[in-house]
């Protein structure tokens, strides 16, 4: 029901292969816990109009935190992935202490905006720029965030918040957000490219986040050497600075795009051309339904990058092995970071994994 939205009991019974009476019993149990609700009756058929059932969004809420060099975003979503509040705070410096304090302030304000008071959250997700060491769950931070390097981030934030804490690489929070609330909603097999400080990404395979043997699956950054132009958001900021344009962080990009569309457009076209051959190669290996291009950039920039790949944006009626992958832009735009982080506790609850 999270994927389909409101659905009749008969349709749901057919979908999962049980009797309608079994569905009625299941829904009665879920209703006792306040997890489902009935929608308005559907007319047009014979007999009593069907009343579709849906997951009740207010059954649970989750918070997510995403940050960059100079700002932090916080989102609260309900259990269906619907955004209920969004807050931004500016950071003097991107240190663990500053992020924890900014997160606490932003979540407090988001609670008020969402109207949920002190209602318990399912958890708080943190999207971290970097990866994890292969031998232990210590964070191997992006070079622009040295204060986070070697940190046991989950334990560190857990000591500062009463809610259950989830930490994940920002590329993988991106794919989680797309699965719950974005372009990947309802899809069991797809890939996301995260254009942020690096060229990250995530894999959602067999309806699960695929982390890999060492928790680092998904990024495409190794295809693009650090000493050459690359399709990363940080490269875009550097390109703008070289052109004499004040680009301190990603939160400036919407305004800059209005004033310097030619420079940004040229970068987007180059980034799309760079991504295209590697998206084809990766798609041949994992055969995703489609690839979502998202990250820290505004939606119009993501659309231009996707167009510049030259890859199809919708599936052909006839599919065959080796065909170019379908590539689409994120529906979440620059809000994908915090919404993706907030999606992690919800999807972790619904799809529990071994410790």
The Cα 50–Cα 46 span in angstroms is: 10
Does residue 355 surpass a pLDDT of 50? no
How many other CB atoms sit within 10 Å of the CB of residue 241?
12
**Under a CB-based contact definition with an 8 Å cutoff, are residues 100 and 157 in contact?**
yes
Reported as a pLDDT band with limits 50, 70 and 90, residue 40 is low
pLDDT at 104: 98
Q: Give every strand in the sheet of 165-169, ordered side by side.
A: 83-90, 71-78, 61-67, 124-128, 165-169
pLDDT at 303: 97
**Under a CB-based contact definition with an 8 Å cutoff, are residues 90 and 37 in contact?**
no
Over range 192-199, report the average pLDDT: 95
The Cα 294–Cα 338 span in angstroms is: 13
Highest mean pLDDT range out of 29-33, 140-144, 235-239, 315-319? 235-239
Residue that wins the pLDDT comparison between 50 and 79: 79
Its pTM stands at 0.87
Over range 176-194, report the average pLDDT: 93
Q: Among 326, 295, 298, which Cα is nearest to 310's? A: 326
Q: 161: which 2 tokens?
A: 């918040």
Encode pLDDT of 212-268 as tens digits.
888 788 899 999 998 999 999 999 999 999 999 999 999 999 999 999 999 999 999
- DSSP helix, strand, coil percent of the chain (3-state; round to 5): 40, 20, 40
What's the 3-state SS for 61-118? EEEEEEECCCEEEEEEEECCCCEEEEEEEECCCCCHHHHHHHHHHHHHHHHHHHCCCC
DSSP 30-70: HHHTT-EEE-PPBPSSSSSPB--EEE-GGG-EEEEEEE-SS
Question: Which residues have CB under 8 Å from 258's CB, separation 6+?
Answer: none
Q: What are the start-end ranges of the E strands in the chain?
A: 36-38, 53-55, 61-67, 71-78, 83-90, 124-128, 130-132, 139-141, 165-169, 190-195, 199-205, 208-210, 291-295, 327-329
């Amino acid at each position: 029901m999270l994927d389909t939205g409101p659905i009749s009991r008969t349709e749901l019974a057919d979908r999962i292969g049980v009797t309608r009476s079994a569905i009625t019993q299941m829904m009665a149990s879920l209703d006792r816990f306040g997890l489902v609700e009935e929608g308005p009756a559907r007319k047009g058929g014979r007999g009593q109009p069907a009343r579709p059932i849906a997951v009740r969004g207010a059954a649970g809420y989750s918070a997510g935190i995403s940050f960059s060099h100079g700002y932090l975003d916080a989102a609260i979503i309900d259990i269906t992935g619907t955004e209920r509040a969004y807050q931004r705070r500016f950071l003097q410096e991107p240190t663990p202490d500053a992020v924890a304090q900014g997160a606490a302030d932003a979540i407090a304000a988001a609670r008020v905006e969402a109207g949920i008071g002190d209602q318990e959250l399912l958890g708080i997700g943190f999207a971290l720029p970097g990866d994890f060491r292969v031998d232990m769950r210590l964070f191997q931070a992006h070079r622009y965030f040295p204060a986070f390097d070697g940190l046991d981030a989950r334990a560190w934030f857990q000591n500062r918040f009463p809610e259950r804490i989830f930490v994940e690489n920002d590329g993988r929070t991106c794919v989680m957000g797309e699965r719950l609330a974005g372009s990947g909603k309802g899809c069991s097999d797809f890939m996301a490219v995260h254009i942020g400080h690096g060229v990250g990404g995530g894999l959602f395979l067999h309806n699960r986040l695929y982390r890999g043997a060492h928790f680092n699956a998904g990024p495409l950054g190794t295809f693009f050497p650090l000493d050459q132009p690359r399709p990363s958001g940080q490269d875009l900021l550097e390109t703008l600075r070289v052109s004499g344009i004040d680009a301190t962080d990603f939160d400036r990009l919407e305004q800059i795009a209005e004033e310097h569309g030619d420079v940004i457009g040229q970068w987007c076209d180059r980034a799309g051309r760079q991504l295209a051959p590697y998206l084809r190669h990766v798609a041949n290996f994992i055969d995703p339904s489609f690839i979502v291009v998202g990250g820290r950039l505004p939606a119009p920039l993501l659309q231009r990058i996707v167009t510049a790949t030259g890859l199809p944006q919708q599936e052909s009626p006839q599919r065959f092995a080796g065909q170019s992958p379908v590539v689409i832009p994120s529906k979440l735009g620059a809000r994908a970071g915090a919404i993706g982080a907030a999606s992690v506790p919800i999807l972790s609850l619904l799809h529990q994994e071994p410790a």
